[in-house]
Structure 1
Amino acid sequence: MVKAYLRYEFSAAFGVITSAANPTYDATGKLLFTSSLESISVWNAKQGSLVRQLSPVVASSSCGGSPSSPVAEVTVLCIAPAGTTIAAGYSDGTVRLWDYESGECTVTFKGHKSGVSCLRYQGTAAGAGGGSAGGALLASGGRDTDVIVWDVAGETGLYRLRGHKDQVTDVVFLPGQSKLVSASKDGSVRVWDLDTQHCCQTLGGHRAEVWALDVNPAGTRLATGASDNEIRVFAIRDPESESAAAAAAAPSSSSAPSALRDHTVLVPMGSVRRGAASHERVALLRFSGEGQWLGVQGAGRGLELFRVRDEDEARKKLKRRKKRRKEKATKKAEQRKEKAGGQQQQQQGQGGSDDDDEEGAAGGEEEEEEDTLKASDELEAVQLVAAKGAKLRAFCFAPPAARLPPGVACRLALARSDNAIEIVDVSSDSHAYSPFSRLDLPGHRSDIRALALSPDDSALLSASSAGLKLWNPRTGSCLSTMEGGYGLSVLFAPGNKFAVVGTKEGTLEVFDLGAASRVHVEEAAHGGAVWALAPLPDKSGFISGGADKTIKFWQWSVVAPSSGGSRQLRLAHVRSVAMADDVLALRVSPDGRLLAVALLDATVKVYYADSMKFFLSLYGHKLPVLCMDISSDSSLLLTGSSDKNIKIWGLDFGDCHRSLFAHGDAVMSVAWVPGTHYAFSAGKDRLLKYWDLDRCELLLELGGHHGEVWALAVSQFGDFVVTGSHDRSIRRWERTSEPFFVEEERERRLESLFEADLEATAADKDTAAAGGAGGAAAGADATAAAPAGRRTLEAVSAADAIIEALEVAALEMERLRGADKERAEAEAEGRPPPRPLPMNAVMQGLAPSAYVLKVVSGVRASELEQAVMMLPFADALRLLGYLPKWLEAGGTAVELTVRLAVLVVRLHQGQLAATAAARPVLMRLQRRLRAAAQGLKDVVGFNMAGLGHLGRRLKEREGVTEGDAVLPAKRQLMA
């Protein structure tokens, strides 16, 4: 009989405050968004509390997803300029749009072949969470060197802009123009005309990779940051409006044609040197929401602030610069005259008219250059914000709507590399910065090296380099934080009120969990790192083992402080036993009879726990055993090693029952499920695996961590398991009531590998095709546009569904025609009519055209274009034949019909022109399509006009202006 098991599935992740992506505020400044690996954390910026997490749905293996592949990590965040939407780019090239009020993912875009490196909404205020109208378009840049422009309202990709030769590092829309600017590691800055979808200007003056750029809120200046120590500034022109103005002002002037030919958008204004301490490359560059500040973050610990002077201040600076230059030139001229001799002066006076004219012309050119503003006239370096103890990952300015206290010029949120957010205020007077708040308690500063669950599963302890944290494993909330040494092992004392931590320094630290403090340190516990702690089954004490080649027995003792107060736990050393090598792991059998000791020489020694008499020596691992556990019935020993294997040993005779290749890297932790012979193992390959060790079969692969998994702990009833990782996250996996079978799970794993290989092959083909097209063009059209989407398994499934629907509809139409023919023959021969045809269950009683419409409407808008592109021409022609029928039915599918018609005609224009059967369909479509689209446009316009009229009447009835109506709501939000 085939055995069924209960499935474990990912339940929650906690402990990560900020990861790779940039933080960003919402429009009010009350909410702060950070990336927490694959999730987006929404924090209350004032209280420092977690409001909610936006997490993508994990595809479980029961649904055909890849069980071992983690969800991609968030790489970049961008808040929409209006509404409650935030866009997130992921490391697998996906872009998701989230409604952070409801917590739902509204749209998913798949277009990039590798990670998304930058995102920007059209109309987003620089450096702020919002504040300007727009957001209809979203631009994304990826590591695949492409820039993709997405239609947010239409939920589809518009086009892909190609031309960069390396990763696209930043993008920004130019306000008031249909232009997009992108920066890349290839050292170029490109300006794209979104109307023609081509590059209209390329700036190649940067001497190294360009890492960041931004536009000020006024839309007049663009700043770029590269790998050097200069910030380059460009003035933004609008060639179309200037050409139109020039043509209107002087239609007959000879200079008008030259003005019309000038398509330069970005005009260099010079550069500003960064401070001497800012020797790293620029990592991020952003203007504040008001445009008064420019923040330039380096790749290290420094963030340099520049104050942006207004027009009057910049002009005064220009005048002072001109005056200083004139004085300098005069002084140099006087020095030259003093050095010149009498004869030379005479010769110079006789024949110096031409030289004087040339010097005058040169001086005129310099004076003309000096009349224009430069970057140094507008930017003034005022402050260097330095992070202490960790590097900066990113930063963001608080939006203009944020309520700042008096005397504060701006507020910055700094994302640190040690899993913390620091918020600082910059003074208006001295421009000095001071810390406002710090968000660091709900997470560790470094790797989580050890985990321990309390006997009643109500508390979870995690140890790292900075100390200990106490968690509620059910809710994921951090209960307390205790500073201590570099923890490598941890266990609860009886009663769950105290805990003991073994440290890298060789000490044993006792913590009072109720008081959240360290109450005792056993300094001379070991002469090296304490790698293992094992509690005694009778709860009288524990055993410790370390790098000093000794194991030590300890007993619990309670002392009363001399000053009064509650009694404290202390450790009493009982005895020490020397080992032949470093002790890496310890376990005492649940019956208290045996003690297993793993040594650095790759062997496991088994002793009688009461007398320390040698019993067994287990050898077979090629590398040291890093972890082990003994089953609840004290019959089996499970060991995990650096050789990537786990071994099951019998404790009766020391025989190896089975050796299994378990992980792709070192096995770091193993644990039995209490009362069973099921076990979990975790390794450096970032996987958690579930085993049936009676049958020696792999049951589940649970992927989710983005770093090495150092520790795991199983609950007393096996209903959940928690893991701690190098990515600083703690993940909880819960046992569900869903059964599964080993063979089915094995088939799903093979299918997931096959599907991943298919996607990789399709991506390689697309890359090769793009490269071949680029090579054939030989640089003549190196910046051509391409379709935005990419071929995914979802798009292939959608194309298959459309083809199947077309075939079912064709068979149904043939069946209906046959029935009509039989009915006509019966009427002609005077026979009774045949019985009506039974309803087609597949089509659910719908007509063929309605059934095809239902299937096509079910395809997501972001995948429709790719699905239609994969249709053969014959199926595309059949689909085109249904479009006039949908319009004649008078339904609501006008927009979908127009989009499909444009797609099919654009993709198969040549074949449609050469196919005679397509002509009648195109003629019918031409007659109906424009009228239907105009009718829909009229309906939308009428509705908008009606809503506007109702709004005006409502304001008149209430007798308030628009500002007065909005002000109470703003006050309520800011309260």
Structure 2
Amino acid sequence: MGEIAKKLAKMDERTRIAFLGNLRSLVDAKTPEKFEKYCDLLTNYDFIEAKVNHPKYGVQALIEDYELVENDELKNQEADNIETLKDLKLIKEALRLSAHILNQDTTQFPGQLTGRLLTFKEKAIIQNLLQQISQIKIPWLRPLTASLTPPGNGLIRTLTGHSDYVNAIATSNDGKYVVSGSRDNTVKIWELSTGEEIRTLTGHRSSVCAIVLSNDGKYVVSGSEDKTIKIWELSIGKEIHTLAGHSDSVRAIALSSDSQYLVSGSWDKTVKIWKFSTGKAIYTLTGHSDSVRTIALNSDGKYIVSGSGDKTIKIWEFSTGKEIRTLTGHSSSVYAVALSSDGKYIVSGSGDKTIKIWKLSTGKEIRTLTGHSSSVYAIALSSDGQYLVSGSRDNTVKIWKLSTGKEIRTLTGHSGWVDTVALSSDGQYLVSGSRDNTVKIWEFASGKKICALTGHSSSVYANALSSDSQYLVSGSGDTTIKIWEFASGKKIRTLTGHSDSVRAIALSSNGQYLVSGSWDKTVKIWEFSTGKKIRTLTGHSSSVYAVALSSDGRYLVSASRDNTVKIWEFSTGKKIRTLTGHSDWVYAVALSSDGQHLVSGSGDKTVKIWELSTGKEIHTLTGHSDSVRAIALSSDGRYLVSGSGDTTIKIWKLSTGKEIHTLTSHSDSVYAVALSSDGQYLVSGSRDNTVKIWELSTGKEIVAFTGEGGIRCCAIAPDNGKIIAGDGSGNVHFLKLENIEVQP
């Protein structure tokens, strides 16, 4: 226990509160001694951990302590102090990046700080803080590499609270608020500076697809799949009007600059103009032959621009509703349109992966921007007309120079499609909303990319550890397999050959071979030492989701979306048997260590136990209420563990099929489970972004770690102390289980 910790332990509660809240007085004193004490406290792990955990303070109060010394005071400091303040800023930004996690679970404090600050371990102050963290005595998962988003990459904060996709985002003109609309049927109002959720507006009966704020900041307008538009008073969250008239989902809304008129676009193929004060419909504009996905108004209120599933953009005269021009050029649906502040240009984003810039007055296409690898769903323009921001189905946000079409920056961090983007009116912040259910706030001007342990350009769906724990193998949606050195996190080799997402990985017990299963319907066998492809097994009629190898190396088992499990002779690639019995996709397979049993998990919500030698079905285990996505067997052959889309993990007796425990702590689908070789611990990975460690015998949760996206796969090293997890953002997390006694 450090000196600060001892000091805090001896204090009564009143003195402790005063001590933890005393930093402002140290700054206000403006003396070198007090400044040094201020810096010492904010680089002391015991102090910052105590403040985060104290009910009167918490994460935001600690962040505000770091902000007591503003950037403009740097010029009045000596060189050493300037460097110290820069390091304090890194710690502050790391806290801000993890605030949404720590607000829910402060036990993750050491893991979150370590995962974000390891990038800066060469800095003396950061190195000292990491050293302090490494000496704590509580159980935690210690990141061995910088696999979490570090400070300085542009991302400021992540807002969590929606329980489904975030479809729409808007910011108030005064820069105080962010408003989000979600598939969870709600509208949420957040404070931009702190990320605090202020209010949730309920009333829509279906997904909220569009959000806009009045220029004066008084009103929120939302459009929904329930075919209605609602107008709300922002300050109190009161619903003022409900506008009905569309015969299908309302996908887009815009307000005139004077807030007198509201324009909406719908899947009913129409554009409607409404009087804002009364909610009365004035015009209905028809002409699109497919759904209207997006709407924009120019600043002088003369023109409406609409984009549609019919691949066209239409320009309409606002005062008459007359169609002026149709712009063609996109080869897929137009999902987003925006107008430059000077009214000269239209920018559009499409399912054809491109962004196009058009001249409003003539409809002439000026430029096509390429760079996204999937559909462009969202477009926003800076108020000064210099920059363009796009959000895409490829999970990224891109910033472009409008005048040249040059890509300036790519922001990564979302683990789902980016459906909406917005810029604050002062141009300081960029806000994005995603199908990973989060809202992210970015510093627009920065965005210097600092590399973490990434390497895959898409979700990591599968991983496996070599038996000697020296190597990790990962498979990804980018169609590649990567081999990593475990100790350093260094990438050694990339294997290419699959033509679609790699969903499954297994290694032979002798370490000589690697087996992969893919959405391209094939199973491939590779030589581990060289990366050379030895054999491709074909026979499945749909995607392969899982592969497993028998401990004696004789058999290979694969599971597929074609509802079957196939058993192959490893040495020849010959198919021996096909097991049928599941009535839905088979997501998972595992083999018992004695080679007698095969276990499969399916979308039909069941687990099946089969005799490997005959293919005979022995037991069907029921109890899950959703797809069984993951299976693991204990090395002694006594227990079976299953993870499901119903958010639970079940532990079963293999010999009888009897359910022993149900573990309920994950808040979303469980994608991965693994067991320690000594049978003491269970590791699980979930779409809720967490890796959790459990005690197998009791079902008690021991510790958790939150990544940047849904955890798709996990493995535990034979020495039981190291855990690897791959997430939906393409990150591979190398974690060490600290302060828990494990037996190799």
User: What is the TM-score of this pair, normalised by structure 2?
Assistant: 0.55
State how 1:801-816 maps to structure 2 within 5 Å. none
Matched, 1:621 2:594: no
Contact 1:512 1:519 in 2 (8 A): no
What is the aligned counterpart of 1:233 among 316, 341, 359?
A: 316
Residue 283 in structure 1 maps to residue 335 in structure 2 = yes
Q: How far did 1:445 drift? A: 9.7
Cα deviation, residue 195, structure 1:
3.7
Q: 1:156 is matched with which residue?
A: 238
Gaps of 5+ in 1: 1-29, 58-70, 124-133, 236-265, 309-374, 401-408, 447-476, 557-568, 742-975
> Distance between the aligned counterparts of 2:690 and 2:209, measured in 1?
26
| Pairing partner for 2:169 from 77, 85, 93 | 77
The structural deviation recorded for 1:680 is: 4.3
CA distance in 2, matches of 1:599, 1:181: 50
Instruction: Report the counterpart of residue 51 of structure 1 in structure 2.
Output: 156
Q: 1:395 to 1:677 in 2, by over 3 A?
A: farther
Give the 3-state SS of the residue equivalent to 1:481 in structure 2. coil
Confirm whether residue 391 of structure 1 aligns to residue 386 of structure 2.
no
Aligned to 1:722: 685
Q: Which residue of 2 aligns with 1:433?
A: 405
Q: Check if 1:519 corresponds to 2:489.
A: no
Contact 2:547/2:559 (<8 A) preserved: no
**Any idea what SS the aligned residue of 1:144 has?**
coil
Q: 2:244 aligned with 1:271, yes or no? A: no
Structure 1 position 165, deviation (Å) = 1.9
- SS of residue paired to 1:480: coil
**What is the identity, as a one-letter code, of the residue corresponding to 1:491?**
A
- The question of 1:296 aligning with 2:348 is answered yes
Q: Which residue of 2 aligns with 1:258?
A: none
Q: Does 1:732 align with 2:691?
A: yes
- For the structure 1 residues 493 and 443, does the alpha-carbon distance in structure 2 shift closer, same or farther, using more than 3 Å as the test? farther
Inter-partner Cα distance in structure 2 for 1:620 and 1:156: 56
Structure 1 pair 143/531, CA: closer, same or farther in 2 (3 Å)? Answer: closer
User: Once the 2 structures are TM-superposed, how far is the Cα of residue 139 of structure 1 from its aligned partner?
Assistant: 0.7
Which residue in 2 is equivalent to 1:104?
Answer: 196
2: distance between equivalents of 1:544 and 1:47? 39
1:120-131 equivalences under 5 Å are 120-123=212-215
Asked if the contact 1:679–1:690 (Cα under 8 Å) also holds between the matched residues in 2, the reply is no
Question: What does residue range 885-900 of structure 1 map to in structure 2 within 5 Å?
Answer: none
Contact 1:650 1:656 in 2 (8 A): yes
Change (3 A) 1:300 1:527: closer
Partner of 1:147: 229
Query: Counterpart in 2 of 1:691?
Result: 650
- C-alpha separation between the residues in 2 aligned to 1:529 and 1:295? 32
Return the offset for 1:699: 2.4
- Provide the residue aligned with 1:181 in structure 2: 263
More helix by share: 1
Offset at residue 157 of structure 1 (A): 1.1
Letter in 2 for 1:669: A
Give the distance between the partners of 1:270 and 1:55, measured in 2 at CA.
41
RCO comparison, higher one (Cα < 8 Å, 6+): 1
| Paired residues for 1:743-754 under 5 Å | none
Pairwise CA distance, 1:530: 8.9
* Amino acid paired to 2:217: G
Does the Cα contact within 8 Å between 1:681 and 1:688 map onto a contact in 2? no
CA distance in 1, matches of 2:206, 2:407: 37
**CA offset digits 1:567-614 (Å, max 9, x no partner):** xx54799x9999999998654677x7996745889567699x9x99xx
Q: Give me the whole-angstrom Cα distance separating, in 2, the residues matched to 1:278 and 1:577.
A: 39
Q: Distance in 2 between matches of 1:551 and 1:85?
A: 51
Q: Which amino acid aligns with 2:650?
A: W
Alignment-derived partner of residue 67 in structure 2:
none
Q: Which of residues 283, 305, 310 is equivalent to 1:202?
A: 283
CA distance in 2, matches of 1:664, 1:72: 20
The CA distance in 2 between the partners of 1:161 and 1:550, in whole Å, is: 54
How many Å apart are 1:154 and its aligned residue?
1.7
Distance 2:151 2:387 in 1: 12
Q: CA deviation at 1:693?
A: 1.1
Q: Give 1:148 shift.
A: 0.6
> 1:73-472 maps to which residues of 2 (within 5 A)?
73-123=165-215, 134-199=216-281, 201-208=282-289, 209-219=291-301, 221-226=303-308, 227=310, 229-235=312-318, 266-268=319-321, 271-274=324-327, 276-278=328-330, 280-289=332-341, 291-307=343-359, 376=362, 381-387=365-371, 389-400=373-384, 410-427=386-403, 432-440=404-412
Measured in 2, the distance between the counterparts of 1:268 and 1:643 equals: 52
**Could you tell me whether the CA contact under 8 Å between 1:533 and 1:542 is conserved in 2?**
no
Counterpart Cα distance in 1 of 2:149 and 2:481: 38
Count, aligned residues: 506
2:633 and 2:675 in contact (8 A); partners too: no
Matches within 5 A, 1:660-699: 660-661=621-622, 667-672=628-633, 679-682=640-643, 686-694=645-653, 695-696=658-659, 699=662
Of the structure 1 ranges 625-634 and 412-421, higher mean CA displacement relative to structure 2 is found in 625-634
Deviation at 1:423, TM superposition (A): 1.6
Cα 1:651–1:423 shift into 2, 3 Å = same
Aligned Cα root-mean-square deviation (Å): 5.5
Question: Deviation of residue 161 (structure 1)?
Answer: 1.4
Which letter does structure 2 place at the counterpart of 1:671?
A
CA deviation digits over 1:931-959, x for unaligned, max 9? xxxxxxxxxxxxxxxxxxxxxxxxxxxxx
The residue matched to 1:267 in structure 2 has which SS? coil
Measure, in 2, the Cα distance between the counterparts of 1:713 and 1:108.
Answer: 35
Alpha carbons of 1:619 and 1:148: their partners in 2 closer, same or farther (altered >3 Å)?
Answer: closer
Q: Which runs of 5+ in 2 are unaligned?
A: 1-92, 104-147, 419-449, 701-744
Contact 1:506–1:546 (8 Å) recurs in 2:
no
* Cα distance in 2 for residues equivalent to 1:527 and 1:299: 22
Larger radius of gyration: 1
d(CA) in 2 for partners of 1:577, 1:73: 38
- Aligned partners of 1:215 and 1:222 also within 8 Å: yes
2:463/2:475 contact within 8 Å kept = yes
Superposition deviation, residue 735 in structure 1? 5.0
Q: Aligned equivalents of 2:298 and 2:522: distance in 1?
A: 63
How far does residue 419 in structure 1 lie from its aligned partner after superposition? 1.6
Q: Pick closer, same or farther for the CA change 1:733–1:179 going to 2, 3 Å.
A: farther
Superposition pairs for residues 716-865 of structure 1, below 5 Å? Answer: 716=676, 718=681, 720-723=683-686, 731-733=690-692, 735=694
CA distance in 2 between counterparts of 1:643 and 1:713 reads 19
Aligned-partner residue type, residue 472 of structure 2? A
Distance, in Å, in 2 between the alignment partners of 1:157 and 1:223 is 28
Deviation of residue 163 (structure 1)?
1.9
Identity %: 17
Once residues 182 and 504 of structure 1 are traced to their aligned partners in structure 2, the CA distance between those partners, rounded to angstroms, is: 37
Please tell me whether the aligned partners of residues 559 and 566 of structure 2 are also in contact (alpha carbons under 8 angstroms).
yes
Q: Measure, in 1, the Cα distance between the counterparts of 2:264 and 2:617.
A: 61
1:550, 1:182 → 2: CA distance? 49
Shift of 1:138: 0.5
Report the Cα distance in structure 2 between the residues aligned to 1:713 and 1:443, rounded to whole angstroms: 20
Contact residue 678 and residue 690 of structure 1 kept, 8 A: no
Q: Deviations over 1:538-583 (max 9, x none)?
A: x6545647799999796x7xxxxxxxxxxxx54799x999999999
Matched letter for residue 107 of structure 1: R
- Which protein is richer in strand relative to its size? 2
- Confirm or deny: 8 A CA contact 2:593 2:637 kept in the other structure: yes
Query: Which residue identity does 1:391 align to in structure 2?
Result: S
Are the counterparts in 2 of residues 689 and 698 from structure 1 also a CA contact under 8 Å?
no
Q: Equivalent residues in 2 for 1:926-941 (5 A)? A: none
Looking at structure 2, the residues matched to 531 and 177 of structure 1 have their Cα atoms a distance apart, in angstroms, of 50
